[in-house]
Structure 1
Amino acid sequence: MDFSAVRAALDSKSYDKIADLCDNLMLQVAAEGIAFQDDWPYAIHLLSHIYIHDINSARFLWKSIPSSIKESQPEVTAAWRIGQNLWLRDYAGVHEAIRGFDWSQDLQGLVASFSELYTKEMFQLLLSAYSTISIRDTALFLGMNEDDATNYVLRQGWTVDPASQMLIVKKHAVVTEQKLDHSKLQRLTEYVFHLEH
C-alpha cells in the first residue's frame, strides 16, 4: 500500500487534504478487491476527517474499523474519543481527549494544529454568543486553565468586571459587504455618459 501522498501531506502540514487522500486510497483498495491490512492509517484517517469537521464521515469510518484494530491500536480509539466529544458537543471533553493521549510522532502535528484551530473556533463561538461569561465557562470552552483563558481573552480586547469577576466580551466591528445593484450601476453609467456628451 502506497501512503506516500498521505505522508507528504502530513510532512507539509496540508492537514485539510489528508481526508480526501485517505478516502481515495480506500476506494482504490476496495475497487481492486484488496483486503484492508492492519497497516491502514486508521488514526490518521479518523483525525483528518475530524480536522475538517466531517464528523459524519469520521463516524462511518469508526464503525467500519475492525474491532481487532480498535482493541490493538489505542491511538485509533483516542482519535475517535475526540470525534465522539465533537458529536456530543462536549467542548471541554474535546480538549480533554486531545490532551489525554500521548500521540505518536506521526500525529502530533495534526493533533496540535486541530487543537489550535478548535480553540480559535470556540473563541469565535463565545464571541458571537455572549456579552458576558464567567471565567470558569470560558476556560472550559477554550480548554485552558482559568488564568490562561483570562489572559487569552484579555489579549483579544475583553475585560474583567472586578465586581462580578465576569468577562465582558468585546465584539469586533462587523464589516458588511455592500451589494452592487446592477440597475443603479446602469443608471450611473447612463448619467455619466449623458454628462460627457
Structure 2
Amino acid sequence: MDLSAVTAALESKSYEKIADICDNLMLQVAADGVAFHNDWPYAIHLLSHFYVHDINSARFLWKTIPSTIKESNPEVNAVWKIGQQLWLRNYGGVHEAIRGFEWSQGLQDFVAAFSGKHLKLYTKEIFQLLVSAYSTISVEDAALFLGMSEENATSYVLQQGWTVDYASRMLTVKKQPVVTEQKLDPRKLQQLTEYVFHLEH
C-alpha cells in the first residue's frame, strides 16, 4: 500500500488535502480488492476529516475501522475523542482531548495545526453565542464555555471590549452594535442550551 502521498502532504503541512488523499486511496485499495492492513493511517485519516470540519465523514470512517484497531490503537481512540467533543460542541472538551494525549511524532504537528486553526474558529463561535445570550457572566463560566483558563478567558474577552469586576469576578458583556433590528436566532439559543446541558451532565 503506497502511502507516500499522505506522507508528502503531512511533510508539506498541506493538511487540508489529506482527507481527499486518504478517501481516494481507500477507494482505490478497496476497488483493487486489497484487504486493509493494520498500517492504514486511521488516526491521520480521522483527524483529516475533523480538520476540514467534515464530522459526518469522520463518523462513517469510525464505523468502518476494525474493532481490533479500536482496541489496540490508543491514538485512533484519542483522535475519536476529539471528534466526540466536536459533535457535542463541547469545545472545552476538545481542548482537554488534545492536551490529554501524548501524540506520536507523526501526528504532533497535525494536531497542533488543527488546534490552532479550528479552536480559534470554535472559540469565536462560542464567544458570539455568549454575546447573544448574556449581559453579564462569571469569569468561571466564561472560561468553561471558551475552554480556557480563567486568566486567558478574561484576557480574551477584555480584548473584545468587555469589562471585568475583579471583586465579584463578573464580566459585563459588550453588545455588538445593532445595524438593523435583529431578533435572536432561536437556533443559537438552542445551541447554547445544548452546550450547557452537556457541560453539566
Question: Which structure's CA Rg is the greater one?
Answer: 1
Q: After the TM superposition, which of the residue ranges 80-89 and 121-130 deviates more from structure 2?
A: 121-130
Query: Structure 2, unaligned stretches of length 5 or more?
Result: 180-201
Alignment partner, residue 64 of structure 2? 64
CA 1:117–1:104 in structure 2 vs 1: closer, same or farther (change >3 Å)? same
- Are residue 153 (structure 1) and residue 136 (structure 2) matched? no
Give the aligned residue type for 1:158. Answer: W
Alignment partner, residue 8 of structure 1? 8
Conserved 8 A contact 1:122-1:141: no
Structure 1 residues 38-187: aligned runs within 5 Å = 38-131=38-131, 132-162=136-166, 164-170=168-174
Cα distance, 1:172 vs structure 2: 6.5
- Following the alignment from structure 2 to structure 1, what is the Cα–Cα distance between the partners of residues 20 and 158? 38
- Following the alignment from structure 1 to structure 2, what is the Cα–Cα distance between the partners of residues 171 and 6? 45
- Are residue 18 (structure 1) and residue 22 (structure 2) matched? no
CA 1:154–1:111 in structure 2 vs 1: closer, same or farther (change >3 Å)? same
Cα distance, 1:122 vs structure 2: 2.7
Q: After the TM superposition, which of the residue ranges 7-16 and 100-109 deviates more from structure 2?
A: 7-16
DSSP-derived class of the 1:130 partner: helix
CA 1:141–1:105 in structure 2 vs 1: closer, same or farther (change >3 Å)? farther
CA deviation string 1:142-190 (max 9, x = no partner)? 3221112222333344332446433334466799xxxxxxxxxxxxxxx
Conserved 8 A contact 2:127-2:146: no
- Following the alignment from structure 1 to structure 2, what is the Cα–Cα distance between the partners of residues 11 and 133? 43
- Following the alignment from structure 1 to structure 2, what is the Cα–Cα distance between the partners of residues 4 and 141? 40
- Following the alignment from structure 1 to structure 2, what is the Cα–Cα distance between the partners of residues 81 and 38? 20
Structure 1 residues 29-44: aligned runs within 5 Å = 29-44=29-44
TM-score normalised over the length of structure 2: 0.78
- Following the alignment from structure 2 to structure 1, what is the Cα–Cα distance between the partners of residues 86 and 154? 24
Give the aligned residue type for 2:71. Answer: E
Give the aligned residue type for 1:93. Answer: G
DSSP-derived class of the 2:171 partner: strand
Give the aligned residue type for 2:138. Answer: S
- Following the alignment from structure 1 to structure 2, what is the Cα–Cα distance between the partners of residues 163 and 119? 30
- Following the alignment from structure 2 to structure 1, what is the Cα–Cα distance between the partners of residues 70 and 113? 24
**RMSD (Å) for aligned C-alpha atoms:** 2.2
